[in-house]
Amino acid sequence: MSTNVLRTTDGWWVVREERARRVETKAVTTAELLADRAAIREAAGSEDPGTPVADLVALPPVTTPCRVVAQMVNYRSHARDSGFTGEIPPTFFRKASGSVSGPHEPVVRPAHVRFLDYEVELGLVMGATLPVGTLVEERDLPRYVAGLVLTNDVSARDVQLTKTQFYESKSYPTFTPTGPYLALLEPEDFAHLLNLRLRLSVNGAARQDRTLADMIVRPAQALTLLARFQTLAPGDLLLTGTPGGTALKAPPKPAEKIAALLPPAWKWKAFFKGQAKNPRYLREGDLITATIATADGRIDLGEQRTPVTDAP
């Protein structure tokens, strides 16, 4: 069974049955914590009654600075929504680790952003160095991946599309809510990854709901592809893509063909005029709720509840 770890301003905690037991460690960063597994095991086996989880304020369990890498269009349902047909080439992009925020902190929409979108994603937290050139098989995942976190790849679509700029559009502060738990996995837990179900709702209305079985490039292959050019270190974070159901969707084919004939400025003006009628984009006062878990509770990454607010 996985072990859920929570981080607060007072340190690290192991969570079991809504109670938290303090991890007696000097670790400050996620990487340092992962190197002190003895302290985690001791806390997990403690008979101390602990502290109610509800009394603790969760910080992101992935500490920064770290590398934050993400996969683009990595679920079949998202590919359909995005208008892709045929084979989808594996694609990665980086996010600034300054975008990582707590699981209940507000998502802050910058004043110049009109079309703010959500993307629930499973995050892989590295537990060992992944050198360039590494070939990762399914059986190797426990060697490199320490655990999992729930993340939301918040996106400023007007910045992303008009500038073709993923880094900026996804890297504003609070654009990567993370946690509440870092679920540390046992080797046998990895066999259950495809049973993980990603769900996201806005103001109680379901928007995204898929299992990892919908994923195109699965974790072992993704790490192999990344290792062609990128070293990862303990505590680094890989976001593995989002299912369909985001606010942004590709326009119908006839409209897309007509738009292709327009000058770029006109094309984007027409596109965003249509998007302005889409009620699914995030607005101030919205509440995003997200979960990732297996149906049997073997792996449960907790629940995010992040309100949306506008920058002052």
| Structure confidence at residue 85 as a pLDDT band (50, 70, 90) | confident
Mean pLDDT of 177-194: 98
* Mean pLDDT within 251-273: 57
Q: What is the pLDDT of residue 155?
A: 97
- pLDDT at residue 84 tops 90: no
- Which residue's structure tokens are 């679509």? 157
d(CA 270, CA 264): 10
How far apart, in whole angstroms, are the C-alpha atoms of residue 134 and residue 145? 13
Q: Which pLDDT belongs to residue 272?
A: 80
Question: CA 154, 143, 63: angle at the middle one, nearest 5?
Answer: 40
- Taking residues 186-198, what's their average pLDDT? 98
Predicted pLDDT of residue 262? 45
Tokens of 123: 């995050």
- pLDDT for 257: 45
Average pLDDT of the chain to the nearest whole number: 94
Asked whether 240 and 121 are in contact (CB, 8 A), the reply is yes
Predicted pLDDT of residue 266: 55
CA 182 remoteness from chain centre = 12
More confident site: 246 or 271: 246
pLDDT in the model for residue 285: 98
Q: Could you tell me the pLDDT band of residue 214, with boundaries at 50, 70 and 90?
A: very high
Measured distance CA(154)–CA(151) in Å, rounded: 9
Residue 258 has pLDDT above 50, yes or no: no
Q: Is the pLDDT of residue 276 over 80?
A: yes
Predicted confidence (pLDDT) at residue 107 exceeds the cutoff of 90: yes
Rama region for 17: left / alpha / beta (φ>0; ψ in -120 to 50; rest): left
Distances 291 to 40, 118, 150, 181, 197 between C-alpha atoms, Å? 24, 13, 7, 11, 8
Average pLDDT over residues 63-79: 97
pLDDT for res 48? 93
